[in-house]
Amino acid sequence: MLPKMEKVIGELKAIERVTGGNVNSIQDNGELLVEIHGIIGSHNLQGNTNLSAITI
Q: Each residue of 7-56: pLDDT tens digit?
A: 988 888 888 777 678 888 889 998 988 888 777 765 555 555 666 667 77
Q: How many domains does the chain have?
A: 1
- The answer to the question of residue 23 being in a domain is yes
pLDDT of residue 53: 66
* 35 in any annotated domain: yes
The answer to whether residue 55 is domain-embedded is no
How far is residue 29 from each of residues 33, 41, 42, 46, measured CA to CA in Å? 11, 25, 23, 27
Please indicate, yes or no, whether the overall pTM of this predicted structure exceeds 0.85: no
Predicted confidence at residue 45, as pLDDT, reads: 56
In a domain, 2, yes or no: no
